Every structure is written in structure tokens, then in C-alpha cells.
Amino acid sequence: MWLFSFGLAIILALGNIAFSRQPRTLKNILGIFALYLLVIDIGLGGLIGAYMHTARADYTAQMIGWAPGSPFQYEVAMMNLGIGVLGVLCLFFRREFWLAAALNVLIVYWGCGFGHLREVTLKANVAPWNAGPGIMFGDFVLPALVLALVVVHARLKG
């Protein structure tokens, strides 16, 4: 899922850049990539995560290597819902809102990433949605990339 939503965000951002009438300045380009990653990858991804942890809770638990029926899944779903809403709201609010959303995602996803690494290390949990390059990319690389894009975009003039 992470790689699909990341790829979709990149393709849509490139399409926007190619067909946009705005000048292709570094600031505009970084802003477009930041926006698409926030809305598609973070926003849509968070909403899908909320759905998966509620409507498909037992399947999701199995894919993560958890026992089905954990009440914590509902809490994870609500965290995903909050992140998803933040990401989608980036369409309507800019500037400091993007920074707040990107910082929240970095803190939450890095925390989840270290939790996944702990599960792999201590419990040998290598379930598909707990370990592997896609999970590590989504938990560590994506949030750092989004935050970097938002910060650099905000500091550029023009």
C-alpha cells in the first residue's frame, strides 16, 4: 500500500507539473510534490489504514502478525483516521498547517517504525505488514521526505 500511494502521488505530481501554467520554479515544484504526498500518501493512506483496522480488523491483524480481536486496533484506526484527515486538509490549509501535519506524521510514523523494528528483533515478527522494505520506507523515509519538502518549500522565496 505504501509504495502504491507513494507512486500514485509522484505520478500525479509530475502530471500536475507537466500541465500546470504556473512557472516551474523550485518552490512551485517542491510545493506540488509536498502537497501530493501529504494528500495522497499521508491523507488517503491514513484513511485506508483506518478502514483496514476497523472493517478488515482480523485480516489486518493477521498481516501485521497480531492476534485478532485486539481492542488496540480501534485505537490504531483512530490514529490513522486523524492522520488521514490532516493529510486531506492540506488541500485547504497551507503554510504552518503543512508543517504541523508533516511533524505529526514524522513523530507517529517513526514511533510505529521503531515498534515494528522492536517486533522484528524481539519477537521475530516478520509478517508482511510488520517488516520489509515497504513498511520501513513508509515509516522512516516517507515522513522524513515529506517534512524536508515542506521545510525547504517554506524557506524558499518567490
Q: Where are the domains of the chain?
A: 2-155
- pTM of the model as a whole: 0.92
Q: pLDDT tens, 22-47? A: 999 999 999 999 999 999 999 999 99
Ramachandran category for residue 94: left, alpha or beta (phi over 0 → left; psi -120 to 50 → alpha)? beta
- Nine-digit cell string for 106: 514524522
**What pLDDT sits at residue 114?**
96
pLDDT of residue 143: 97
Q: What is the DSSP string of 80-129?
A: HHHHHHHHHHTTT--THHHHHHHHHHHHHHHHHHHHHHHHHHHH----TT
Distance CA 136, CA 39 (A): 20
Chain segment 65-96, per-residue pLDDT in tens: 999 988 889 999 999 999 999 999 999 998 89
